[in-house]
């Protein structure tokens, strides 16, 4: 058995061998440019369009509504900045949440500096956006509401159906960053009033370097990349055929296996939570107990939050990969998580969270080993309190 | 509840792959309904059986796991027999009263012998009685204290003890540390007239202080427990 355990699937996921197999021909013998008219181009073009259908099927969308990009970040930028560029009104207002990924917050910040008004909705102690807060924030000039389907730090699932419905009734567009949620929870755009949706291949056991944006028919965006006019003119550049094929296959596998895999991960997750509640009495769960991604756990150790980095490194030495906060914050590891601060955590606890995210290739045996190792590592840490953890909030 | 009453998404998020399986399990485990995130809270509440014990409401405006901001509290605990005056015996203002943990024999302190080597040289062990005076930067209290050792860190010399009355040394014998530095206090805050935040320095009155002089310290740990707000203060001095 490989000694290494990977419990950081929210950062990235291992490439599924079935996806890798599907991509192989397009790394070698099928090399054409999909824009070319000859046999080599037609082969590549057909593969791209097949992947587009596979991706569309994951969301019950039409294939022409799927735009391939290089990443979830690019898709978010296209949705937000591309929409602003296309607006012809002079006064515009966007609404998003305080806990969005930087790939949403930074474009909003960029646009604020250029005159856009943005409202950042608060979240409660579980990281949930309240529909009433959205209702109160809507204005006649609101053009877009962007709320992520699932948070990357805490795993919280937002009430997207309700938020999108409120937005649609108001007459604004609704975008969701579904990078964490895609392939893990059902999101059918033929029943959910979502206008724009972001996904990223490497979060659903696909390759890095490819993402997609669902754009409902009738929604007008301006491109960020100008050139040869690929992807309906919204994303010029020669397509990453192998990557797109990989995304398509990954989306197909995720759609076929979704409910069984979600149930399996929920059982693993819950066993982990319930066992830790006994073996680590000072452990507390962060976020809603059930409204969370199937394999996602965010927890803290009361009195030991200041030692989170040491715990992470000790687990790494034991061959177990988890994270604190999110991967995108690895360069700012000394800063408290803005997501947890927005949820009401103090600066100490906001630095001390541990994120354990299970995925397709994680097993019961790996969970068992983690449950064996974690308590002994935690016991060796210096706590901030000398008192026994008698009544820390329960998991 | 039948499968028709459930959303029919077969999402697996409840831990079961289909709504039909959940409906079947609900016949014997009705609380599983809480796991269906697609149902409204009202629908879930109406489906659950009545609880045997009411669930205590969380403090308004505060997440259950965060001890960052403790609102003003004026309630009196069974340990406090005095109405708060918010002044020490020299008339100086205080922000809160610090009680000792209910399971401890006295106020819990984290101390370091002025010569840290003494911890090993004297082979100090949990359960032993020590006496000493908190000299200098820490407190500057003129009174010799005695206490029972709770924890010892032989590597750093740091001792955790609970300050007790003078009867114990007379009955059990003791070791004399000489001088020590009081590095930190831990206890419960039952009465406060300010909002407590980690990182802030406060004036506080240890309830059992023999001189009833106010102390000052920085809160670097806080935890909301069933018995009140647990705090740790370091960077201590008197006055």
The pLDDT of B134-142, averaged and rounded, is 73
Pick from A176, A154, A160: which is nearest to A103 by CA? A176
Helix (H) or strand (E) holding A46: helix A39-58
Q: Which residue range(s) make up the domain with B22?
A: 6-47
Please write down the HEC assignment for all residues of A77-90. Answer: HHHHHHHHHHCCCC
Question: Per-residue confidence at B75, pLDDT binned at 50, 70, 90?
Answer: very low
Interface test with A, best of B63, B100, B159 (most A CBs within 10 A): B63
- Give the residue ranges of DSSP H helices in A280-381: 308-317, 338-342, 364-379
- Per-residue pLDDT tens digits for B34-61: 899 888 666 666 654 444 333 333 323 3
Count other C-beta atoms under 10 Å from residue B168's C-beta: 17
CATH classification (class only), A17-254: alpha beta
Q: Are residues B75 and B154 in the same domain?
A: yes
Q: Are residues B39 and B72 in the same domain?
A: no
Q: Determine the distance in angstroms separating the CA of B90 from the nearest CA of chain A, rounded to an integer.
A: 31
Residue B54 lies in a domain: no
Structural domains counted in chain B: 2
Q: Are residues B78 and B115 in the same domain?
A: yes
Q: Is the dihedral of CA B1, B6, B12, B17 positive or negative?
A: positive
Residue B55 lies in a domain: no
| CATH topology for the A5-12+258-379 domain | 3.90.1150
Pick from B112, B105, B126, B101: which is nearest to B186 by CA? B101
Q: What is the ipTM of this complex?
A: 0.80
User: Percent of chain B scored above 90 by pLDDT?
Assistant: 52
Q: Are residues B135 and B175 in the same domain?
A: yes
Q: Which residue has the higher pLDDT, B50 or A86?
A: A86
Q: Look at residue B202 and tell me whether its pLDDT is greater than 70.
A: yes
> Which residue in B12, B64, B101 is closest to A260 by CB distance?
B12
Residue B17 lies in a domain: yes
Residue B60 lies in a domain: no
Residue B80 lies in a domain: yes
Cβ contact (<8 Å) for B12 and A385? no
Q: Are residues B93 and B36 in the same domain?
A: no
Interface test with A, best of B13, B48, B101, B234 (most A CBs within 10 A): B13
Residue B1 lies in a domain: no
B161 bridge partner residues: B109, B149
Looking at residue B38, its pLDDT comes to 86
Distance CA B208, CA A321 (A): 47
Contact yes or no for B86/B72 (Cβ under 8 A): no
Looking at residue B192, its pLDDT comes to 92
Distance CA A342, CA A129 (A): 11
Q: Is the dihedral of CA A336, A341, A342, A345 positive or negative?
A: positive
Q: Look at residue B71 and tell me whether its pLDDT is greater than 90.
A: no
Q: Determine the distance in angstroms separating the CA of A370 from the nearest CA of chain B, rounded to an integer.
A: 21
Looking at residue B68, its pLDDT comes to 32
Global pTM value: 0.81
Tell me the C-alpha to C-alpha distance, in Å, between residue B145 and each of A305, B61, B90, B212, B221. Answer: 32, 41, 21, 14, 25
Would you list the domain boundaries of chain A? 5-12+258-379, 17-254
Q: Are residues B123 and B196 in the same domain?
A: yes
> Which residue in A259, A345, A347 is closest to B12 by CB distance?
A259
Distance CA A293, CA A148 (A): 13
Q: Which of A139-143, B2-6, B47-51 has the lowest mean pLDDT?
A: B47-51
Which chain A residues are within 8 Å of B230, Cβ to Cβ? Answer: 385, 387
- Per-residue pLDDT tens digits for A171-201: 999 999 999 999 999 999 999 999 999 999 9
Q: Are residues B119 and B230 in the same domain?
A: yes
Burial of B173 (0-12, 13-18, 19+ CB in 10 A): exposed
């Amino acid at each position: 058995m490989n000694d290494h355990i990977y419990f950081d699937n929210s950062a990235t996921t291992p490439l599924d061998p079935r996806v890798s197999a599907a991509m192989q021909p397009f790394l070698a013998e099928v090399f054409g440019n999909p824009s070319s008219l000859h046999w080599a181009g037609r082969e590549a073009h057909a593969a791209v369009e097949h992947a587009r259908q596979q991706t569309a099927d994951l969301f019950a969308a039409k294939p022409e509504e799927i735009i391939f990009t290089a990443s979830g970040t690019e898709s978010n930028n296209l949705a937000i900045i591309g929409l602003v560029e296309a607006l012809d009104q002079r006064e515009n207002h966007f609404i998003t949440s305080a806990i969005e990924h930087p790939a949403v917050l930074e474009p909003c910040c960029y646009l604020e500096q250029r005159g856009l008004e943005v409202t950042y909705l608060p979240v409660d102690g579980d990281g949930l956006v309240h529909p009433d807060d959205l209702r109160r924030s809507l204005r006649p000039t609101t053009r877009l509401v962007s709320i992520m389907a699932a948070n990357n730090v805490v795993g919280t699932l937002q009430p997207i159906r309700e938020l999108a419905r409120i937005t649609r009734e108001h007459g604004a567009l609704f975008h969701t960053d579904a990078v964490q949620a895609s392939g893990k929870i059902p999101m059918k755009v033929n029943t959910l009033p979502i206008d724009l949706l972001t996904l990223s291949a490497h979060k659903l056991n696909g390759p890095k370097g490819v993402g997609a944006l669902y754009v409902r028919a009738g929604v007008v965006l301006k491109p960020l990349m100008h050139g040869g006019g690929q992807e309906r003119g919204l994303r010029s550049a020669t397509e990453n055929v192998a990557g797109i094929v990989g995304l398509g296959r990954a989306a197909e596998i995720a759609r076929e296996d979704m409910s069984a895999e979600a149930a399996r991960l929920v059982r693993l997750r819950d066993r982990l939570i319930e066992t830790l509640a006994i073996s680590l009495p000072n452990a507390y769960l962060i976020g809603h107990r059930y409204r969370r991604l199937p394999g996602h756990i965010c927890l803290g150790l009361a009195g030991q939050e200041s030692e989170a980095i040491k715990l992470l490194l000790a687990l790494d030495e034991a061959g177990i990969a988890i994270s604190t906060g999110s991967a995108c914050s690895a360069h700012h590891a000394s800063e408290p998580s803005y997501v947890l601060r927005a949820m009401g955590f103090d600066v100490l606890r906001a630095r001390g969270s541990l994120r354990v995210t299970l995925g397709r290739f994680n097993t019961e045996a790996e969970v068992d080993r983690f449950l064996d190792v974690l308590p002994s590592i935690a016991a060796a840490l210096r706590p901030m309190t000398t008192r026994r953890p008698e009544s820390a909030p329960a998991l | 509840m039948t499968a028709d009453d459930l959303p029919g998404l077969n999402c697996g998020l409840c831990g079961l792959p289909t709504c039909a399986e959940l409906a079947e399990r609900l016949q014997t485990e009705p609380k599983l309904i809480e796991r269906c995130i697609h149902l409204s809270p009202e629908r879930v509440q109406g489906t659950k059986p009545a609880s045997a014990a009411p669930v205590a409401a969380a403090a308004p405006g505060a997440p259950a796991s965060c001890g960052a901001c403790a609102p003003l509290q004026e309630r009196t605990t069974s340990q406090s027999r005095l109405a708060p005056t918010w002044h020490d015996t020299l008339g100086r203002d205080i922000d809160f009263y610090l009680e000792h943990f209910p399971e401890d024999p006295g106020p819990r302190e984290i101390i370091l012998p002025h010569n840290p080597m003494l911890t090993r040289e004297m082979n100090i062990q949990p359960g032993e009685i020590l006496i000493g005076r908190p000299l200098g930067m820490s407190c500057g209290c003129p009174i010799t204290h005695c206490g029972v050792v709770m924890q010892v860190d032989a590597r750093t010399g740091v001792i955790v003890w609970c300050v007790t009355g003078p009867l114990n040394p007379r009955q059990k014998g003791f070791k004399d540390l000489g001088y020590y530095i009081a590095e930190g206090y831990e206890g419960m805050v039952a009465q406060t007239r300010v909002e407590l935040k980690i990182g802030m320095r406060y004036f506080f009155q240890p309830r059992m202080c023999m001189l009833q002089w106010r102390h000052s310290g920085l809160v670097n740990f806080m935890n909301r427990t069933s018995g009140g707000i647990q705090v740790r203060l370091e960077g201590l001095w008197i006055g």
